[in-house]
Structure 1
Amino acid sequence: MSSDQFGVHKWHIFKFILLIFMIGGVNCDLTISPLGPSLVNTTVGSNVTLVVTISGAPDPVVTWKMGSLPVVTWTLGSSVAPDIAIIHRDVLKIETDGSLTFRNVSYVYSNTYTVEIVKSGFKTVSATFVLKVYDYIRNVSVNTEPADALEGAEKFTLQYSSLQGEADQWRWYFNSVEIQNNSHYTVGQKSLVIHQPNRNDTGPYTLVLTNPFSTVTFHRKITVLYGPDEPMLGASPSQAFFVSGDTLSLSCQAEGVPQPSASWMFGGQTLPVSQGGSLNLTNVQTSQGGIYTCVLVNVNTGAQRKRNLTVNVYESPTASPLCSVNAVNGNVDLQFHCRWPGGTPEALLSFPALTNATSGAGDFNLTIPASQDLNGKMVLCRANHPLRQTWCNITASPTISDSSLFPNRNGTIVTMTWEVPPTSVITGFDIQMSGPDLLTVTKNGSRRKRAIEGFRSIQQRPGSSRSTDISVLDPKSTYYFRVIPIAGRTQGEPSAVQRIGPGGLSRPQIIGLAVGIPCGLLFLLLLIGLIYLCVYCCRKKRQQNRYPVPRAVEKVVSTQPDVNTPNHLLTGGLKPLPDYNRMTSQAAPAERSIPLPTFVAPPPVRTATIV
């Protein structure tokens, strides 16, 4: 190859190399790449560098942004100091290769960092880093809002906080089961929300906080307050009613947290209760029967419930039921009356033989037509009390129990009265008289009367009457009166006959005589006894009198040997007894015997009885 050819060849090589350089210069771009992870975790107070490599052009302008705000600007390789924000100069430093270093980093520098490379004639390039600054998690606490969890509330929130360190992961557990987001729970970054809490949410809750450098577990027990629920009342012993004088205890309980406190009220007053809310009643009386109110209160929430308990205290009526029957409504109806006073509650009274449709308490009347055939029939009043069942009978018959006659002073008018037993059915009375007819006045002013044999009716009285006046009587005549009770068309037994007139004693006189005769007989017996006592005393006294005896006898008596002295035979023989008759005639008056007194019967005593 010649030199000229070699020179031409060299020129073509030069042009080719120049072309290559020219093409390479046109296609050269700035490049930047992180040397390490784009997510950088570090702890508070440490030093950390966000490392990059920059190529493609000399002396590019490097800008670091924290978030969207520039914090460092510098021309790479320039001798001019970097432009760093004043507030960051103690922490941030740009390295000669464009990397950014944090010294003694704090929480505030946890952010997203972007580095941009700018060169005139070149396209701007950038790279992004995420820096997270952590601390060790310490002093974790959980607060609640509101302070107490109430059943049925809108929501209940558990929110945690820590005095040091932040977590990037948090998990909530209930009864060792992790809580997930659902309609009942909402798990937030720093909170757990329980929607409409209920008693089943009571239990242990666990919070687990985690960051790259520490893990902390915190436990909190949550109690959902509720109640009181529906109260449960009871009486011990358990029975439908109690008898006056019994002892009983009332209990009141209900579910709730905390346990509701119970109190009892009766008659508007609060009663003292024992521990546990029981009310003890001893020697209970009927006045203590009634409605007792139990009040249950949740002392933490103020919620309360009330419920009533009826205590029946019974007492049996002391007397027996009383029955009677009367004619009413103009004697066309019969009113049966049954009464059993006293007792708690009042006894239930009825007349089952008359009707089963009606009854009454304590005092019951039943009116039926008098036309029913009840004369002489026994009607039963049934008296039912929770402590005692009894009855009383009514015999529906016209009867008069007693009657009396009272004349006026002249004997021309008499008032006749009568009584009716409570079980007598009376619709009217027939007043009858026997004897001379009543005086009648003739046209000329004279009076006349005629005698009629037997009883005849002179008046008709209603069933409510108990007396009547009979006038125009002749005071010199004798009359007999009686009353006949009437029930409908049935006549009862007539009353006792009452007599008035001069021919005999009146009823008051007969009563006085009946009373005076026994008194007179008693007085006569006392008088005879007194006479007999006097005679007996006189005889006793006469037997005790001592009369004078002859001296010879006295001497003989006085010379009788002592029974303790031995007897000596008489040598002169026996002498005849002295003649006491002669001795008596010769004796001194003081020594003579006097005749025995003679008993003289007392004169007869005549007694008389004045009636």
Structure 2
Amino acid sequence: MEAAFYLFLLGAITGFTEAAGILPDGPLNAPVGGSVMFTTSLTEADGPFLGVTWSFNTTFFIISYQSGSSLIPPAYQDRITFFPSTASLELKYLTLDDGGEYSVTVFPDRGGRIKLDIYVPIFSVTVTPQSSDLVEFSSFSLTCSSSGSSLSFIWMNSSSEVTSSDRVQITDGGSTLTVVDVTRYDEQSYRCRVFNPVSEGISDPVNILVSYGPENTKMSASPSQEFYEEGSDISLSCSADSRPSAQFTWFVNGTKLPDSGPELTLRNIQFSQRGDYSCQAFNSRTLTNETSPSVSISVLQKISGVSIKASTEQFIEGSSVTLTCEASGSSPSRTWKKDGSDLNLSEDVTLSEDNTVLTFKAVKKENSGEYVCLVSNPVSSSEAKFTIVVNYGPANVQIEGKDLINENDQIKLICSAESTPSATFTWRLNGSEITGSSAEFLKEKAQSSDSGTYTCEAKNIITEKQSTAEHELHVQPGEKMSSGTDEGK
């Protein structure tokens, strides 16, 4: 029996050619240490089978089966499982040496061949960067390594697969990724995916950092104003697009300040600190710097000490007079008003170019009133008031009273004059001074000797001018006239 079995086996290995393939199209892939199932297309209905032989690389048999008995070489003991009903075979504990061609012969006229490829499984996928901290427009390389056999590589960034381009090179069978002219937009995480027909693995992410800048350096002031009052607090901020974060220094009018950092606080700022402020950003990795456009800080002193000074203490009609508006503070602007309304200028009333001096070429009584000088700058304002009283006269002296009265009647004459200050009065009768210095001359009982020419002399003690008026009065003797008699004024 055993001799016949070996003759059957020898014939199967050396000379049989299957009539129809009963194995699938190959190859089959399996990992080292794993198992593989060689499954035929036969079923129990195709049996019974006179004999089945499995061989490896045409010369080494794995199993010979006939009439319920199996012959298995020592090398395959405990490594195979044979399925007589379908002539299928499972091979376990695979090694790289198990890779090759497997054939099956099923007597009398069936058989097949299939290739088995054995692969070492993938594990320990790692990515080694040439550098992970780069300067923009330099280049970087990543190398992917892994255990396993017949390796294939795919590179992935944070969002998609990385493919070759003008700036991206994939070399060394796909295991090396090189990016040239790196920009900040290449700053992301990269992974390497390694695979073969029986396994795959992926690396931990490698983060690529790209140093760039500084650029877009700019500064701002808070509060943002065209002008600042002396004593204000101002905060200046500087920013720049930069990796790593930029270092900042400060300048005023091109002179470096001792301050550093992205914030500069000017507390209780003084007029002397006005000027054009700028900041400079510096990147310690790229070793470049950039200066911001300057911001002008205009500091103004508050308006104070506003006063109006006159060129004379007394304003006499016809004289030339000036009012000077004095003030301290920065960039004062002056506006004049009279009696609450805008000041009307003329040939006789003029202002200096800076509105500081108000000149009256020949002051008139109409120029009397309250004058206000409003001094302002963009951060403050103040005003001063001054009242002008124009001294003039006396003028238009007049005497009011009767020109005909009877003896024992009352004499009442009133003298008036236009004058500032009010005039003083002197009375005369027929050229001789008489008692009385007020505007009213009064005598209770007239006598005939009171007839004559009455003169009122008005005098202004400031202008030192005087003017007179005359009045004729007739005192008639006797009783009072009847109502029909002309009594005069």
- Higher RCO by CA contacts (8 Å cutoff, separation 6 or greater): 2
Q: Looking at secondary structure, tell me which structure has more helix per residue.
A: 1
User: Which structure has the highest strand share of the two?
Assistant: 2
TM-score scaled to structure 2, two decimals?
Answer: 0.41
